[in-house]
Amino acid sequence: MNLLITMAEIVVNLDLIARLDGKVAVVTGGSDGIGSKVVEQLLCGGARLVVADLNDAKGQSLVEALKESKGIQQQQDIVYKHVDVSDYDSVLALFKYTIDLHGKVDMAIHCAGITEISGWFDPAITMDTISTPPALKVLDVNLRGTFYFTQVALAALGHGRQSDKGAGDKSITLISSIAGFKESPGLFVYSASKHGVMGLMRSLRGYLPSAFNVRLNVICPWATDTPMFSNLRDAWVQENLPLNTPDEVAGIVAQCAADESIHGKAVYVAGGKGFDIEEGIDRLEAQWMGEKQARDLANGQAFLGTGSSWGAKR
Ligand SMILES: NC(=O)c1ccc[n+]([C@@H]2O[C@H](COP(=O)([O-])OP(=O)(O)OC[C@H]3O[C@@H](n4cnc5c(N)ncnc54)[C@H](O)[C@@H]3O)[C@@H](O)[C@H]2O)c1
């Protein structure tokens, strides 16, 4: 049993995260919650940060507070830039700004997100009350925004890069959720958007190393003590259920962004620990679908390859 836990666990290596001198990181959702702690940890490790968010007041005051508390002298070591991740031009402007400032991007980390907005599947709906569809803003921010971020980040990570650079030095880290792989009652659009983020990672992970020489990982936090979870927080704690600190989740995010050996993982974070979901699903396939089905599936996947010869061009 211990062996299984060890195989899937992603352990934070503080020495690695402390050696980020010269790296440039873009962090969306950086004004608050998990993103703000990612910003702080990467800055402490020596990276230069572009903090991007919709909440300008919080983002600017975070940047000023970190400059003061960490004794940052160079203005460019940490800057704030407004972004609305659901607006393609805004995402493009964020990465253009970063390249103008630093000439490159090494770590693209996408923490911006919003939770469910009620309106879908109300049991009171009738044929008389459904003339207009409820909002899909959550899909726009969480899934459309992740597509925009990933597309522009891939171009930016390649900017000015030496062609002989080895795989692993550039990374994208996205945030899904427990709601990206488990039932999440009441979170209809949120859960669909987070499953979408998982799907995007799974569709890209075989393709990115050869097509872009970039690593990609997804973090799937369970309950985390941020403003997003504030409505449920007290009742949750009363039930003695585990609650991640935003610092703990940020540590796993930073590890996946910095560790050149981590690619294609979906890391569930609960009680402050990170576990790769994908490894277990793959390893146990023969147990839950049978040896022959697992072999056939592996052969089919090998036949399809990275999709670069057919899928992406269709
Ligand atoms: N807190 C949890 O329990 C939990 C659990 C699982 C997954 N997550 C995910 O983790 C990520 C971070 O969440 P958090 O808990 O830190 O939330 P949070 O609300 O504390 O922070 C989210 C940040 O994203 C920003 N943001 C929202 N919409 C934006 C937009 N359109 N453009 C740019 N920035 C925008 C907000 O201003 C805020 O600063 C989200 O993707 C969330 O879905 C959180």
Cα separation, 66 vs 42, in Å, equals 12
Phi, psi (degrees; rounded to nearest 5) at 218:
-125, 135
Closest CA to 55 of 78, 77, 84, 26: 84
Taking only Cα atoms into account, the Rg of the chain, rounded to an integer number of angstroms, comes to: 20
What confidence tens digit (pLDDT) does each residue in 263-305 have? 999 999 999 999 999 988 989 999 999 999 999 999 998 998 8
266-270 and 273-276 as β-strands: parallel, antiparallel, unpaired?
Answer: antiparallel
Cα separation, 169 vs 98, in Å, equals 18
What confidence tens digit (pLDDT) does each residue in 111-120 have? 999 999 999 9
Residue 128 is predicted with a pLDDT of 95
Q: Is 221 helix (H, G, I), strand (E, B) or coil?
A: strand
CA 305, distance to chain mean position in Å, is: 25
DSSP 151-193: HHHHHHHHTT--TTPPTTSSEEEEE--GGGTS--TT-HHHHHH
* pTM score, whole prediction: 0.95
CA of 76 to the centre of ligand 1 (A): 25
Q: Residue 22 above 90 pLDDT?
A: yes
Closest CA to 150 of 99, 104, 212: 212
Question: Ligand 1: which residue has its CA nearest to atom 30?
Answer: 84
Residue 202 is predicted with a pLDDT of 97
Question: Ligand 1: which residue has its CA nearest to atom 1?
Answer: 224
Q: What percent of the chain has pLDDT over 90?
A: 87
Residue 164 is predicted with a pLDDT of 52
Residue 305 is predicted with a pLDDT of 86
182: left (phi over 0), alpha (psi -120 to 50) or beta: beta
CA of 29 to the centre of ligand 1 (A): 6
Residue 192 is predicted with a pLDDT of 98
Confidence grade of residue 84 (pLDDT, cut at 50, 70, 90) = very high
Confidence grade of residue 168 (pLDDT, cut at 50, 70, 90) = confident
In the numeric block, which tokens belong to residue 287?
């147990």
Q: Residue 17 above 90 pLDDT?
A: yes
Q: Which atom of ligand 1 is nearest to the CA of 85?
A: 32
Cα separation, 186 vs 215, in Å, equals 33
Helix or strand run (H / E) with residue 1: none
Q: Which atom of ligand 1 is nearest to the CA of 179?
A: 6
Q: What is the mean pLDDT of residues 59-78?
A: 94
CA of 231 to the centre of ligand 1 (A): 14
Cα separation, 267 vs 178, in Å, equals 10
Q: Which atom of ligand 1 is nearest to the CA of 31?
A: 39
What one-letter code names the amino acid at 295? R
Q: Residue 136 above 50 pLDDT?
A: yes
Ligand 1: residues with CB < 6 A are: 28-29, 31-35, 53-55, 83-86, 111-114, 141, 175, 177-178, 221, 223-224, 226-229
CA of 9 to the centre of ligand 1 (A): 24
Judge contact between 8 and 276, C-beta under 8 A. yes
Q: Residue 1 above 90 pLDDT?
A: no
CA 159, distance to chain mean position in Å, is: 21
Q: Residue 314 above 90 pLDDT?
A: no
Confidence grade of residue 163 (pLDDT, cut at 50, 70, 90) = low
Judge contact between 141 and 112, C-beta under 8 A. yes
Residue 161 is predicted with a pLDDT of 87
Mean pLDDT lowest among 48-57, 68-77, 245-254 = 68-77
